[in-house]
C-alpha cells in the first residue's frame, strides 16, 4: 500500500524533484516532516518510514492487526486518537502510538470519516470506534477515554505524526506518579499580537493560580492522564479540555509539564480558511466554560482572597 502511494506521487511531481527532496528528507528528523509545508514531502516521508518498518514488524499485513500480547493482559497505555478524514497520516500515527509501550492499545475514534481512515487505522492495528456523524471538536477524546482500559491515557491527534520516542516521556511521567502530563508548548511565541486562544490559556492558568504553567493546557496534544486523574476529572469533561484542565488544577492533581513538542508548527500545514477560524470561537468559549465550572464549584471569586475588603461599608 505505501509503495503504491509513493509511485503515484512521484509520477505527479516528476522524478528529479522527488529524488532531490528524498535526499533532503533522509537527513532530517521527524520534526522536519511536519514543518515542511507541502503535504507531498510529508506523505512521501510517511511512505518511506512505514516501508522501513514493515521489514521489522508485520504490522502492515492484515492478520497482524491484533497484537497477541493484547489478548493476554490489560494494556498499560491507552492511546486515544480522534480521527476525521486523516488518511494521509493516520497509519503512521497508529504505528508510532503502538510503540510507546509494550502493552499498548490504540483507540481510534473515527467520527464522520468518509475517506477510509478508519480502515487504514484498523489495518495498522488500532481498535476503531466508528461514528457516522462528526462528534464535534474534542468530543472524540471523551468517547475514546470511555473505552480505554489502560492505566495511562495518552491523547494525540490523527493528523500529526509524533515519534514514539516523543510520546514516551508522557507515559513515563504518569508512571512516575504525575496525574497529568502536559506538552510544554505554550502557543506561538514569536508573533507580535498574541493569538486569542493563547491568551485564554495563559489567563485560565493565571485564574487557577498556576501562572508557572504559562500557556500549557490540556487543549494541546499530546497529553497524558492517569486513570485516577480521569476519575477525578470526570470522563464527560474531556470533551471540553479547558474544563478538564481547570478541574485538574483546582482539585490539586499533580500536573507536570513534560517535554516540549511544538505542535503549532506541526499543525501549520492545515489550510487556513479565508474567514475567521470558527474553532477560535469554540476554544475560547471552552475557556469560558472552564470559568463557569470554577464559579459553580468554588465561590464567585474562584476561591480567592478578598483581603479584608469591607464591602458592607458601602451602603
282 binds other proteins (CB under 8 A): yes
Among residues 40, 101, 115, 42, which one has the least CA distance to residue 73?
A: 101
24 binds other proteins (CB under 8 A): no
Relative to beta strand 152-155, strand 77-83 is: parallel
Applying CB under 8 A, which of residues 25, 30, 164, 203 lies at the interface with other proteins?
203
CA dist., res. 108 & res. 89, Å (int): 13
* # binding residues, other proteins (CB under 8 A): 58
30 binds other proteins (CB under 8 A): no
Nearest-approach distance from CB 304 to other proteins, in angstroms: 3
Among residue numbers 120 through 159, which ones bind other proteins (CB under 8 A)? 133-139, 159
CA dist., res. 288 & res. 301, Å (int): 15
Strand partners, 181: 224, 256
314 binds other proteins (CB under 8 A): yes
Which one, 85 or 219, has the nearer CB to other proteins?
85
278 binds other proteins (CB under 8 A): yes
> SS in 3 state form for the chain?
CHHHHHHHHHHHHCHHHHHHHHHHHHHCCHHHHHHCCCHHHHHHHHHHHHHHHHHHCCCCCHHHCCCHHHHHCCCCEEEEEEECCCHHHHHHHHHHHHCCCCCEEEEEEEECCCCCHHHHHHHCCCEEEEECCCCCCCHHHHHHHHHCCCCEEEECCCCCCCCHHHHHHHHHHHHCCCCEEECCCCCCCCCCCCCHHHHHHHHHHHHCCCHHHCCCCCCCCCEEEEHHHHHHHCHHHHHCHHHHHHHHHHCCCCEEECCCCCHHHHCCCCCCCCCCCHHHHHHHHHHHHHHHHHHHHCCCCCCCCCCCCCHHHCC
Among residue numbers 215 through 274, which ones bind other proteins (CB under 8 A)? 240, 270
Nearest-approach distance from CB 155 to other proteins, in angstroms: 15
69 binds other proteins (CB under 8 A): no
Which one, 76 or 291, has the nearer CB to other proteins?
291
279 binds other proteins (CB under 8 A): yes
Which one, 83 or 174, has the nearer CB to other proteins?
83
Among residue numbers 178 through 197, which ones bind other proteins (CB under 8 A)? 186, 189, 194, 196
Which one, 32 or 269, has the nearer CB to other proteins?
269
Nearest-approach distance from CB 113 to other proteins, in angstroms: 9
Nearest-approach distance from CB 136 to other proteins, in angstroms: 3
16 binds other proteins (CB under 8 A): no
Which one, 73 or 311, has the nearer CB to other proteins?
311
Nearest-approach distance from CB 252 to other proteins, in angstroms: 15
Which one, 56 or 314, has the nearer CB to other proteins?
314
Nearest-approach distance from CB 50 to other proteins, in angstroms: 22
Distance set, CA 57 to CA 7, 8, 98 (Å):
23, 25, 12
The contact set with other proteins (CB under 8 A) reads 84-86, 111-112, 114, 133-139, 159, 186, 189, 194, 196, 199-200, 202-207, 209, 211-212, 214, 240, 270, 278-279, 281-282, 284-285, 287-289, 291-292, 294-295, 300-302, 304-311, 313-314
Amino acid at each position: 500500500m505505501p509503495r503504491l502511494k509513493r509511485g503515484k506521487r512521484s509520477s505527479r511531481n516528476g522524478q528529479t524533484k522527488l529524488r532531490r527532496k528524498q535526499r533532503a528528507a533522509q537527513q532530517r528528523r521527524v520534526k522536519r516532516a511536519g514543518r515542511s509545508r507541502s503535504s507531498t514531502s510529508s506523505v512521501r516521508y510517511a511512505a518511506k518510514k512505514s516501508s522501513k518498518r514493515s521489514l521489522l514488524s508485520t504490522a502492515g499485513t492484515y492478520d497482524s492487526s491484533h497484537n497477541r500480547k493484547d489478548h493476554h493482559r490489560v494494556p498499560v497505555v491507552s492511546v486515544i486518537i480522534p480521527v476525521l478524514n486523516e488518511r494521509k497520516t493516520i497509519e503512521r500515527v497508529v504505528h508510532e502510538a503502538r510503540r510507546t509501550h509494550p502493552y499498548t492499545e490504540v483507540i481510534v475514534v473515527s467520527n464522520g470519516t468518509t475517506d477510509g481512515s478508519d480502515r487504514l487505522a484498523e489495518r495498522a492495528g488500532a481498535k476503531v470506534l466508528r461514528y457516522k456523524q462528526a462528534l464535534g471538536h474534542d468530543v472524540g477524546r471523551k468517547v475514546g477515554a470511555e473505552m480505554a482500559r489502560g492505566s495511562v491515557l495518552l491523547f494525540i491527534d490523527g493528523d500529526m505524526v509524533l515519534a514514539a520516542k516523543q510520546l514516551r516521556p508522557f507515559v513515563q511521567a504518569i508512571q512516575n506518579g504525575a496525574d497529568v502530563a502536559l506538552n510544554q508548548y505554550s502557543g506561538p511565541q514569536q508573533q507580535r499580537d498574541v493569538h486569542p486562544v493563547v491568551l485564554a490559556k495563559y489567563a485560565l492558568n493565571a485564574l487557577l493560580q498556576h501562572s508557572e504553567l504559562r500557556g500549557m493546557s490540556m487543549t494541546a496534544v499530546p497529553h497524558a492522564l492517569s486513570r485516577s486523574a480521569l476519575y477525578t476529572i470526570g470522563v464527560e469533561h474531556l470533551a471540553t479540555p479547558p474544563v478538564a484542565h481547570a478541574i485538574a488544577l483546582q482539585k490539586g492533581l499533580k500536573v507536570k509539564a513534560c517535554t516540549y513538542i511544538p505542535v503549532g508548527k506541526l499543525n501549520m500545514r492545515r489550510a487556513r480558511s479565508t474567514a475567521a477560524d470558527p474553532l477560535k470561537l469554540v476554544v475560547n468559549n471552552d475557556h469560558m466554560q472552564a470559568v463557569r465550572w470554577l464559579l459553580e464549584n468554588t465561590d464567585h471569586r474562584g476561591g480567592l482572597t478578598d483581603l479584608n475588603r469591607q464591602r458592607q461599608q458601602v451602603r
